[in-house]
Each structure stands twice: as C-alpha cells, then as structure tokens.
Amino acid sequence: MSPFRLAFSALLMTSPVLVTAALASPVPMAEEQHINDELRAGFAGDTLRKICPTIEARMLVVMGRLWDLKSYAETQGYSSGDYDAFRKDPVQKKRLKDEAEAYLEAAGAVPGDVESYCKVGEAEIAKGTALGSLIRSSR
C-alpha cells in the first residue's frame, strides 16, 4: 500500500473519533475552572482598586488577559458569543463578584477597613498570583 493510501486509511479510521471530539459539548462555562478563576481574579482586582487608593489596575495586562481568556474559551469549544454572553450575564457576574469578595475576606480584607484591602493587594502582588498580576501599587 502506498504511503498516501496508508495515511488516508488511518485518517478515515480515526475521523469518527475526531468528529465526535469536535462535536462534544464543553462543560457549562460556569463550571470551567480556568475561565471562572480568571474572571474572579479580575473582579477581585477591580474591588481592590476601587477601595484602596494605592492600588490601580494594570489595564494593558487586564485587556490582554481578557483577550487570552476569550481565545482559551474558543479552544475549549465555546463560541465567541458564548463567552461574551457569559461575561455579561448578570447572574454569573454577581456569583463571581461574591466569590471574589469571599476570597478577599479570606485573605484578610475587612469590609470598611481600607488598609486591610491595601494589604491584601500588596500581598497578592508580592506572591505573583493571577490577581496580583492584574494590579500595581503606588507604595
């Protein structure tokens, strides 16, 4: 058998597997860990920059990460529209913001105590976390 026929035969035999994998639905986006972790970090960073006067967003990094996240979502089988709808969905936004607040509080942020939010932001920057990479401090 010629190399071409051999390769073609192999492709035909594996194509049902490839088609099945390509048509398989991804998990609901609310269950996709990486997407949720990245968006949660963004919401936490937004909270920190709004509360702490010495923390600001690294907007070019934030915008780049959002584009990267959209590309990641598409490689996972979600459409561009799915991703945009998820990011704008008020129920998902509230859930992620609530989770971001819980994360900040677990890290030591105390509602009403501005300095505690600044300390959390500084610690995230120092640790080089996903959240820390989205913000900078003027201290």
pLDDT digit string (tens) for 42-97?
Answer: 999 999 999 999 999 999 999 999 999 999 999 999 999 999 999 999 999 999 99
Query: What's at 55, amino acid-wise?
Result: I
pLDDT of residue 7: 46
Number of domains, the chain: 1
**Domain contains 3:** no
**Domain contains 21:** no
Counting every residue, how long is the chain?
139
Write down the residue that tokens 């058998």 correspond to: 1
Question: 81 is in which domain, residue-wise?
Answer: 27-137
Is residue 14 classed exposed, middle or buried when 0-12, 13-18 and 19+ CB atoms within 10 A define those classes? Answer: exposed
**Domain contains 56:** yes
H or E segment to which residue 119 belongs: helix 114-127
Q: What is the pLDDT of residues 116-129, one digit of tens each?
A: 999 999 999 999 99
pTM score: 0.81
pLDDT of residue 2: 54
How far are the Cα atoms of 61, 72, 124, 133, 138 from residue 58, in angstroms, in the given order? 5, 21, 14, 8, 12
In terms of pLDDT, which residue wins out, 114 or 8? 114
**Domain contains 7:** no
**Domain contains 68:** yes
Quote the CA–CA distance of 15 and 132 in Å, as a whole number. Answer: 44
pLDDT of residue 4: 46
**Domain contains 60:** yes
pLDDT of residue 5: 53
